[in-house]
Each structure stands twice: as C-alpha cells, then as structure tokens.
C-alpha cells in the first residue's frame, strides 16, 4: 500500500527561500503515479487506498496516516545516517502501522518523501558562476522511497533518487526489482 507522497518544493534565490505550493502539488501527483507504476512493473502489487476522497471522509484513517508519517519523520534521520543498518533490522515505526492494514492483505507500506529545489539565475550565478547560471532554472528532486512491514512496522528497504525535474516512470524500477529478487 502506497501512502500519500509528501513533496516539498522550494525556490532558492539571492534573497532567501520560498515555498512553491502549486509545483509541489503537481509533483506529488506525478511522483505517486511513477512509484506505483514502477512497483507494478517490477513484479510487485501496488495499491493506493489512501486517496484524498478516502481520507476526507474518514477522520480515523486520516489521523492514522498522519501518525505513521509523523513517526517516520522521527525515525528518518537515523535511517538516512546509517542506511546499511536496515538489513540488520534496527529501524521500526512500531506496530501502529497495523492500523492502516486493517484487512491484513498488505505486506508492506510504501512511504515516499521528496524535496525539490529550484535555484534562480541570480543565486546560480553567485554560487557557481557560469556553471551555476547554466544549471539554474530547473527543479532538482531528492526522493526517498521506504518500504515498511505492514504488520510489525520494521523498515525493510530504503533508496534515494536524485532527478532533474519531476521523477518519471522507470526511474525507480531498477531499484524496486532488487526488492523482489530472492536473497
């Protein structure tokens, strides 16, 4: 089950940073589609039961999703610092994730967080000269995809992706194939 993607896009200029809400919303939709499609192409079954409509009508479900996302945000810095410890089973979100798997038919939850940064031409020129100026204007995304056991809350897999522009289909596919390969 794929949880709602969280995407934050900021514009960095000479005067500071500011949020880019509309671009973040567009990226959220595209990213959810890309992750779900690549999971399916990799031989895994992906569902997206936590749509805006489903969350809008069910307060308990909305709060449960928010609690899991908040717990992930607490554990995430440790996971990013020592990603090799995932194989040793050192990270967990706790059994609270089982609330989202009430039917018991899901094996894992997929958590997707992305940060996008767009540099203005002025900031690019100041920070990188002509090279920085040439590279400014596009949005660079750092996307982290994490799989969590839907029953125990143990973190099973994490991978980072850096892309120029909104991640499209087949960006994640190679990485997801490693999940379904026998060890």
Tell me the domains of the chain and their CATH numbers: 6-180 (3.40.50)
Q: pTM of the predicted model, to two decimals?
A: 0.86
The yes-or-no verdict on residue 182 having pLDDT over 60 is no
Distance CA 18, CA 3 (A): 26
The yes-or-no verdict on residue 78 having pLDDT over 80 is yes
Residue 183, judged by CB atoms within 10 A of its CB (0-12, 13-18, 19+), counts as exposed
pLDDT in tens, 18-31: 888 788 888 898 99
What's the confidence (pLDDT) of residue 1?
93
pLDDT in tens, 80-102: 999 999 999 999 999 999 999 88
């Amino acid at each position: 089950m794929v949880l709602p993607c969280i995407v934050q896009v900021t514009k960095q200029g000479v005067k500071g940073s500011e949020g880019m809400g509309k671009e973040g919303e567009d990226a959220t939709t595209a990213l959810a589609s890309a992750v779900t499609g690549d999971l399916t192409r990799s031989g895994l079954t992906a569902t997206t039961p936590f749509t805006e409509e489903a969350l809008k009508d069910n307060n308990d479900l909305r709060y449960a999703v928010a609690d899991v996302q908040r717990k992930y945000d607490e554990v995430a810095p440790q996971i990013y610092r020592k990603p090799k410890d995932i194989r040793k089973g050192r990270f967990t979100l706790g059994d609270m994730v089982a609330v989202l798997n009430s039917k018991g038919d899901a094996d894992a939850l997929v958590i997707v967080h992305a940060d996008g940064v767009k540099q203005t031409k002025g900031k690019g020129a100041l920070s990188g000269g002509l090279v920085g100026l040439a590279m400014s204007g596009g949005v660079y995304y750092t996307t982290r995809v994490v799989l969590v056991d839907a029953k125990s809350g143990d973190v099973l897999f994490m991978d980072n992706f850096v892309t120029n522009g909104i991640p499209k289909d087949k960006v994640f596919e190679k990485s997801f194939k490693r999940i379904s390969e026998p060890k």
